[in-house]
Structures are given as structure tokens and as C-alpha cells.
Structure 1
Amino acid sequence: MIEFEFLDGTKTNTDEFGLTVKEFEVEPLTLRHRFEQIEMLEGNIPMGSTHEQRRIMMSARLFLDDPNEFPLYRDWIQGVFARLQPCYITDPRQPFKRWLVIPEGTPEYEHRNYGRVVYVTLNWVTYGLPYAEAITTTLTPYEWGQGYFWGAGLEWGENQYSFSNTNRFIINNFGNVELDPRKHKEFRIVYKGASDGLTITNLTNQEVFVYNGVSGVDDEIVLDRIFTTKNGLNIVRDTNRRVITLAAGANEFILAGTSSPFEISFEFRPLFY
């Protein structure tokens, strides 16, 4: 059974359409490299590499009591899987992650057994980043039995993403993709409390964010993607205009300019190849 969630919050799955899934295949990542060449210079000059859009294919079977039922099922399938808006797909074999996709091409139908069995093929392409993302954020309560991160390789109580009155800690990006707030749509760091020259340093990749102002015990400083606010007001001009990214795996942080009591939290969705 493959599950679908649309941006308006509605959910459905292949069982509701009578589809028995035979195959659900995510295309491997395709790397694209760019090089420049200069005459009389050996080799080439690397200009960067990236991952291209990925395709997802699902094949399923539809069993009908009466072949005349097919138009009804066909219209149901078209009504859901031919939308122009993206949706999230989750494979229950890996329930901790989902893919943001949009339909591609035309649904294919192959009729067998005098029309009582229909083989259905549907295709999607990734919408935006070519990676899967965690179905919940790092601040979602990790409750036993919810299955949020089953299969992700995490141990119970292993990770922490909010801290009080602690200037040194580890943030685990348990995905295998670097998280860059300039590209990733969900990445928030929230600092609540007093500070003077708040400095957040990721020792793992040597990235530093600095707020050149002060905050009171009831103030809230938010780094939300490329935006920085204090109590909802833009304070980018009072910062060093840098962002904090997360390497895959453990990221060691150190804070400076803090004054107890304070809290800091990191909320994001890890990405997976």
C-alpha cells in the first residue's frame, strides 16, 4: 500500500482505489557535473556538481468483478493522480520519510483476463529537491508506536534538539544530505532569552552566525531559513548576514554572548538520498 498526502491536508492510499501494488521504484540519483575548458590547459576546471530530478514509478493491479466497472475506477484514479499540484508519497516499507512529487505523463492501463484484471502504471517526478524528507520535524515528540523513524537507524532517546542554559551541544542531522537553509524550506533555530552579541558556531563546518545586538529575557530570536527576526521584527541588518548549515551526521555547536536563563531549539526535516 502506497500512501499519498496532498498539500491541502487530505490523504488517501492505493487500497482505497482497489489497487494492489506490485512495484514502487525510486530512480537512483543522477549526477550532473559542469566543467570549463581552457585552450592549452590540461584537463578541465570543475565548476560544480548537482543531483538531477528523479522519477518514481508505481505499477499495480486492479481486480474487477465486472469489466464495465473500469471507467469508474479510471476516473477515480485520474481525479487523484492527474492533479496539477504536488503531493507527498510514502512507502510503508520506509515510513519515516516521504517524497514531494508531481504526476508525470499519462497513466497506462493494460487489460487482461477479459478485462477483469487491469495493470496500472503511474509515474511521478520529484518536485524541488530530488531527496526524500522526514515525515516529521525534529521537534515532533518521538512516541513509541508512532513509527515516525522506524528504519532510520535511530536509537530511543538518542537525539536532542532543544536545550536550556547549555552553551555546548550536539545536533544530529540523521539524514545523509547537508541541510542548507537557503535551499531547505523547513529550517528554524529559535533562541529565547537574554543575550549580548549572540554567537552561534557550528564547529563541525566552521560556520558562524552573529547577532550584534542585545535581547532580553522575554525576547525571541528566530533564524528561519535566510531570515532573522527578533520578536517578529526583521534584524538581518544587525547580523553578520550568515546562515547556519548542518552537515550530515553529528554537528557540534557552541554558543557565546548568552545569559541564563535561555533556551535554544533546532527544528528541521532531515533529507535522505
Structure 2
Amino acid sequence: MFKNLCERRQTTVIEFRFLDGNIVNTDDFKLKVKDFFVEPLTNRNQFEQIDMLAGNIPMGSTHESRRIEMSGRLYLNEASEFGLYRDWIQRTFSRLEPYYITDAKQPYKRWYVLPEGTPTYEHVNYGKIVLVTLTWVTYGLPYAQSIATTSTIYEWGQGYFWGSGIEWGENQYSFSNTNRFIINNFGDVKIDPREHKEFRIIYKGASDGLRITNLRNQNVFLFNGVSGVDDEIVLERVFTTKNGLNVVRDTNHRVITLETGSNEFILAGTSSPFEITFDFRPLFY
């Protein structure tokens, strides 16, 4: 009996969160997960070469997409039950649109993935045990996202867990009537709004020639217009809006990025009262 319990012991549970709001996990269809393997990052470097010039000219580096493989076991009372559980797995796995998966061992982050290839099933013990292997490929960026955004209330279990890189009580992402502050990107990856969809800077209040400067990397955003006490200026991806209307033409067409770690900011052109908020999801390797 002890041997039987050891064989059925699982190492983790995988949660599937779909874009329609539905959530299921591997326990729902009796799949005992043994391994959840995320492929290591692969660097891709680009160079140019010029005749008679030693070496090469670096043009940039990036990371390739990654594959994620999960293996587990189905324990059936009768071999005839396989069709039912296979269909449950198929409905979950073989969707044509991306979705999020989360490993219970690292509950603070999720992977945005697309199913790849064909599920494999190997029957043993007269069909009562089925070895299952599923594979995904990262969709978009090859990094995991934080479950919580920087606007999520700091409470245990609300996307915040040990190991996520958070220094409790030392992070602040909303500031009122102060022109100098620090924004901490506690992830592993630089946040660039040209690549990262979920990054917004929201300024509420009066300003004249609002200037936002990240001293860490010398990024400067400039809004050449004015705003009133009740106005809201939003920087989101490469767009800038004022009270919902596009005002990109009134900016210097620059974006603000966040390096990993501390980013010190200076504001100019502000007028109290005002509030500025940084809302984003940190990314992890």
C-alpha cells in the first residue's frame, strides 16, 4: 500500500486560466503531474560583417520563444474510462487561442502559452495507468508574468508570495504632490511599453509642459500641453491620451521604460494637487 501511495504522489498542480474567465486545474481531470519543465532561455544574437574589418558589428540580442512540457499520470479504475478523461484533456489542451498556465510551486507567476504538437498517451498496467505528456510554446514574450500588478493590494495570496522578489513594505507605485520618487521593477526583465502591453503611467491633476524623467536610463517623456485639476493623462504602450482623447501629437513621441531594480524619477511642469501612478506586471525568467 505504501508503494501505491508513492506512485500516485504528484509534484505539483497546474492551473489553466482561459481568456473567457474559466479556470480549471489538473486535479479536475485526475491528472497527477510529475514534471513541469520550462525550457531555458536561448539567446539570439545578430551581427553584421564588413569586408576587411576585424570581428563583427553587434546589431542586438534577444531571447527565443520557449517550450514548456508537462508530464503526468492518469490513474483509472477501469481502462474503459480513458476516453472520458482524454476528451477532458483535449478540450483543455487543444484550444487554438492562447491562455495562461500556472505552476502551484510558483503561484506568483503565470505563463501565456499556446498548445503545441499532439498530446501523447502511453498505457501501462493493463490500461489503468496512462502516462500523459503535453507541450506548449510561449505566446509573445518568452517570460512569465506576475499574477499581481503593481496596483494589486499588498495582501498575502493576492498574487504575492515568498520568492517573487517583493520587499514587503518598501514598494510604492502611486505618489501625490511629490516630484521625486523611486519605482521598483522587482522582475527579471526590463519593462518596455513597446513590447509589454500591460504598462500604464497615469497622471491626474494640473500641469503645464509635463516632463517625466527616468534618471536610471535617461528616458524623458514630454507633454507640450496643459492639464487641469480634474484631467487625466495616460501613457499606455506608444500612445498618450488626455481624458481618453489621443494627444500623441502634443508629445515628444518618446516612451518611458523601467530597468530591473530601482528607477528614480523626476517630474517637472506639475502643479499641486496631482497624483501619478505606475501600473504594470513584472516579468520573470
Q: Same fold (TM over 0.5)?
A: yes
CA deviations 1:43-102 (Å, max 9, x no partner) are 111111110010000000000000000011111111110110111011111111100000
Q: Residue 10 of structure 1 aligns with which residue?
A: 22
**Residue equivalent to 2:133:** 121
Q: CA RMSD in A?
A: 0.9
Contact 1:95 1:150 (8 Å CA) reproduced: no
What is the number of residues matched between the two proteins?
Answer: 273
Of residues 190, 193, 199 in structure 1, which corresponds to 2:205?
Answer: 193
- Within a 5 Å distance, the mapping from 1:40-189 to structure 2 comes to 40-189=52-201
| Alignment check: 8 A CA contact 1:37 1:45 kept | yes
Show structure 2 runs of 5+ residues with no match: 1-12
- Aligned match of 2:265: 253
Contact 1:53 1:125 in 2 (8 A): yes
Contact 1:94 1:150 in 2 (8 A): no
Q: CA separation in 1, counterparts of 2:54 and 2:275?
A: 54
Q: CA deviation at 1:37?
A: 1.4
Letter in 2 for 1:143: E
Equivalent residue, structure 1, for 2:224:
212
1:202 match: 214
Distance in 2, Cα, partners of 1:248 & 1:194? 30
Q: If the length of structure 1 is used for normalisation, what is the TM-score? A: 0.98
How far residue 147 of structure 1 moved from its aligned partner, in angstroms, is 5.0
User: Are 1:36 and 2:48 counterparts?
Assistant: yes
User: In structure 1, which of residues 184, 200, 223 is the aligned counterpart of residue 235 of structure 2?
Assistant: 223
1:268 aligns with 2:254: no
Query: Does the aligned pair in 1 maintain the 2:146–2:159 contact within 8 Å?
Result: no
TM-score, reference length from structure 2 = 0.94
Q: Which digits, 9 at most, give the CA deviation of each residue in 1:11-52, with x for residues without a partner? A: 000000100000000000001111111122111111111100
**Partner of 2:82: helix, strand, or coil?**
helix
Match of 2:8 in 1: none
Q: Unaligned stretches of 5+ in structure 1?
A: none
Measure, in 1, the Cα distance between the counterparts of 2:174 and 2:140: 29
Cα contact 2:212–2:265 (8 A) shared by 1: yes
Q: Which amino acid aligns with 1:206?
A: Q
8 Å contact kept, 2:205–2:232:
yes
| Alignment counterpart, residue 31 of structure 2, candidates 7, 19, 22 | 19
Shift of residue 145, structure 1, vs aligned partner: 4.2
Paired residue for 1:232? 244
What SS does the aligned partner of 2:195 have?
Answer: coil
